[in-house]
Amino acid sequence: MKQSELVDLLGRMTLREKIGQLVQLDGGCFGTDAVAVGPRAKLGVTQEDVDVCGSVLNVLGAEEVHRIQDAYLERSRLKIPLVFMADVIYGYQTCYPIPLGLGATWDPELIREDYNLIAEEAVADGCMVTFSPPVDVVRDARWGRCLEMPGEDPYLSSRFARAMVEGFKGDGTPQKSLASCVKHFAGYGAPEAGREYNTVDMSEWRLRNEYLPPYRAAVEAGCDLVMTSFNTIDGIPATANRWLMHDVLRDEWGFDGPIITDYAAIDELRAHGVAANRREAAKLAMNATVDIDMKTPCYAHELEALIETGEVSLEQIDTACMRVLELKNRLGLFEDPYRTCSPERRTEVTCTPERLESARKTCDEALVLLKNEGGLLPLTTGGNAPCVALIGPYANSRDIIGMWAIHADKTHSVTLAEAFAEVLGDDGFAWAQGCPTLDDYSELGEFGKIPAFGAPTGEGADLETMAAEALELAASSDVVVMALGEHMLQSGEGGARTDITIPAPQKRLLKRVRALGKPVVLVLFNGRPLSLTDVIDDCDAIVEAWFPGTAGGRSVADVLFGTVNPSGRLTVSFPHNVGQEPLYYAQFSTGRPAKTSTHSGRFVSRYMDCPNDAMFPFGYGLSYHTARYDNLRLSADELTADGVLEVSIDVTNEGDIAGTEVVQLYIHDKVATRVRPMLELRDFARVELAPRERRTVTFILREEALRFWTPEHGWASEPGAFEVMAGPNSRDLLVGEFELV
């Protein structure tokens, strides 16, 4: 439809129809009458509200989309199609590793390709907009939603935000292009104490330098919507925060697409205590230029009265409504209300071998080797293969797709045991669960009783028998692979924890296995950085598998048996102790830096009972080859505002197998008008090296990479001395110096 036709359409809409476009209801409201009465009544909406609403939340399935769209258009006066939106976060039916794992690939190009495959699979089954990518910077491992984010660094997260939005968008052809919605704007990853939905409070200096960049990268990459976050910023909930939504997002960044709230967030303005009633809540959100009310009746039932009193203008409604109509027009819905989805199309593209292979390749790059004492890994296969015991709740589990894979088909998940059998043969290993995931599942609440969310199996099993079976298996083996980790509901939304260690029954089993004196490989399944202090000495090798997705079992086997030389590198810091949280590598010096202060030992920035640093730092990961980094050199010792500085470093694969290095480049602004982090990531390169190959990696540094935000000057660099560092992670770095002049 041409723009002029959209304007004409808007002119023919009644006020109620315009407001309707600003309302998003869940699929329950669109059921057949008998079914829908309950959800509608619970939400407080009527059939009339349903008949004019603009979009549908989390309904998928081509058949259901067709049914709802047909029934809706049948009743629609102006035949304006619904738009169907859902959470397709890191996969649809084919599930990739959780974004913490995707980040660990340090391979945005690969993720861009993956996200286009995800788009095609989701579009085929009726998804038109995905509430993804989530790119909240995360620095507190207590927060459950670390799972969904690329990591703790704004630069790296910005690279992934761009790749994910462009991946979803693809070449724009309807069947392979999904509208994206960056979230959660803004700063949702910094709740006090890591507690879900808790207060966020930080200076504008920190917000702009460390938390806003990934959202801006998504906007610049062309994301179609922005979702408001549940938290406050500067004492005002984001959903009511005009400065954030209008002044920054729209005026400064030029975003003119729809802003949609998070789930029920307008109504929650009452709970926040900034709105006395739904009418005030609707007014605050509309005046913050929020366009779509997700799953509350506030806009549907309060806006007309606000217009009558002049507290909200008709122009505001027209502007918001036009944003929604333009989104629908960009999606081609006026020409094809189903947007090519069909059961046949779904069958054609879902969980194809190409997709499953893509998920496996990505997962191969996502796994992080954290420890490999004595080169225990890779395990040999074939004639002289050791007898392997595979033990733990994740030994043969399909619950390896993470909490937000709500549309994934778990039956496609390849378990560790199945993958081991493919490599070793059924007789080449044996597995045993050994213990339940948790001692007490009640902490998981009602969700924990749902099979799709990992409800416990084998209720009432004799735990000592389970353990004895596993211990007997371990005693008769040459090496034990322990598949342990968090329950899938211990991370994700609502998954904040104060204890970020491996659950107790699993630790007890690990200790008993260790007491047998066998070599132990620990494979971790988790949705956050863990504290591994109480298990690190019980394992000779540790592989971080995250929630690895549909192909997870095969990827873990690929790494354990050496088909793949691991290249994953952490994008979040793993603490010694939860007491260190929030923990991140880009720390500021403080006036009393622990390692260099002139003050006496006690009176420096330190803990009495724990190191300051991470146990496993940002950028860290091992491989089966060893690499040497040397000969860091700069093309000059000065950089001008319009110049370039070449920073080169030599990397040598000292091993006898091919491998990949993730060469990382950091800067440090030594003196500035505001404190600057001791190091900040500014570039990286994945480098594939043949055995014994030496390669020079050169980065190009420009003045804009040195800029930071201040209230006085906005984004600007400041002349002076800089350090530039390069190496395999944020700790083992070679350092050079230059002047910005």
Site residues, ligand GLC (CB under 6 A): 58, 87, 131, 183, 262-263, 493
240 and 270 Cβ atoms separated by less than 8 Å: no
685 and 697 Cβ atoms separated by less than 8 Å: yes
Q: Minimum distance between the CB of residue 545 and ligand GLC, rounded to whole angstroms?
A: 24
Q: Residues with Cβ < 8 Å from 352, sequence gap 6 or more? A: 94
Q: Minimum distance between the CB of residue 136 and ligand GLC, rounded to whole angstroms?
A: 10
Place of tokens 């045991």: 417
Q: Which of 262, 540, 558, 683 is catalytic?
A: 262
d(CA 332, CA 123): 13
Place of tokens 């998920």: 359
d(CA 410, CA 549): 9
d(CA 197, CA 188): 8
Choose between 253 and 263: whose C-beta lies nearer to ligand GLC.
263
Q: What share of the chain is helix, strand, coil (3-state, %, to 5)?
A: 35, 20, 45
692: its two tokens: 């014994």
Q: Minimum distance between the CB of residue 656 and ligand GLC, rounded to whole angstroms?
A: 46
Place of tokens 């390709």: 113
Choose between 17 and 148: whose C-beta lies nearer to ligand GLC.
148
- What does the CA dihedral 97, 101, 102, 107 come to, rounded to 10 degrees? -130
d(CA 688, CA 676): 33
674 and 707 Cβ atoms separated by less than 8 Å: no
Q: Which of 499, 506, 505, 508 is nearest to 531 (CA)?
A: 499
Kindly list the distances between the CA atom of residue 83 and the CA atoms of 19, 76, 512, 535, 558, in Å, as whole numbers in the listed order.
Answer: 15, 14, 55, 49, 41
Q: Minimum distance between the CB of residue 391 and ligand GLC, rounded to whole angstroms?
A: 35
Q: Minimum distance between the CB of residue 439 and ligand GLC, rounded to whole angstroms?
A: 28
- What is the Cα 367 distance to its own chain's centre? 15
Q: Minimum distance between the CB of residue 58 and ligand GLC, rounded to whole angstroms?
A: 6
Choose between 25 and 706: whose C-beta lies nearer to ligand GLC.
25
CB-CB neighbours of 476 under 10 Å: 12
CB neighbour burial string for 235-252, b if at least 16 within 10 angstroms, e if fewer: ebbbbbbbebbbebbbee
First to last CA, the chain: 53
- What is the Cα 620 distance to its own chain's centre? 19
244 and 186 Cβ atoms separated by less than 8 Å: yes
Q: Minimum distance between the CB of residue 87 and ligand GLC, rounded to whole angstroms?
A: 5
Q: Minimum distance between the CB of residue 308 and ligand GLC, rounded to whole angstroms?
A: 31
Choose between 267 and 540: whose C-beta lies nearer to ligand GLC.
267
Q: Which of 287, 298, 301 is nearest to 259 (CA)?
A: 287
d(CA 654, CA 630): 13
Strand partners, 660: 688
Phi, psi for residue 157 in degrees, rounded to 5: -65, -35
Phi, psi for residue 656 in degrees, rounded to 5: -100, 10
Q: Minimum distance between the CB of residue 85 and ligand GLC, rounded to whole angstroms?
A: 8
d(CA 135, CA 119): 18
Choose between 19 and 56: whose C-beta lies nearer to ligand GLC.
56
Residue 252 DSSP code: I
Choose between 56 and 559: whose C-beta lies nearer to ligand GLC.
56
Can you list the alpha helix ranges (DSSP code H) found in 147-210? 154-169, 204-206
Q: Minimum distance between the CB of residue 651 and ligand GLC, rounded to whole angstroms?
A: 39
348 and 68 Cβ atoms separated by less than 8 Å: no
Element (H, E) at 700: strand 694-702
457: its two tokens: 């199996």
Is 440 annotated as catalytic?
Answer: no
200: its two tokens: 């966020």
Choose between 129 and 663: whose C-beta lies nearer to ligand GLC.
129
261: its two tokens: 């709230």
DSSP-assigned letters across all residues of 127-159: --EE---B------TTSGGGGGSS-S-HHHHHH
Choose between 183 and 682: whose C-beta lies nearer to ligand GLC.
183
Choose between 234 and 493: whose C-beta lies nearer to ligand GLC.
493
Q: Minimum distance between the CB of residue 84 and ligand GLC, rounded to whole angstroms?
A: 13
d(CA 156, CA 666): 12
Rg (C-alpha) for the chain, rounded Å, is 26
Long-range contacts formed by 712-715: CB under 8 A, 24+ apart:
712/673
Strand partners, 633: 648
Q: 378: cis peptide before it, omega within 30°?
A: yes
Inter-axis angle of helices 278-287 and 298-308, to 10 degrees? 80
Choose between 85 and 435: whose C-beta lies nearer to ligand GLC.
85
Q: Minimum distance between the CB of residue 47 and ligand GLC, rounded to whole angstroms?
A: 23
Q: Minimum distance between the CB of residue 491 and ligand GLC, rounded to whole angstroms?
A: 14
Catalytic residues: 262
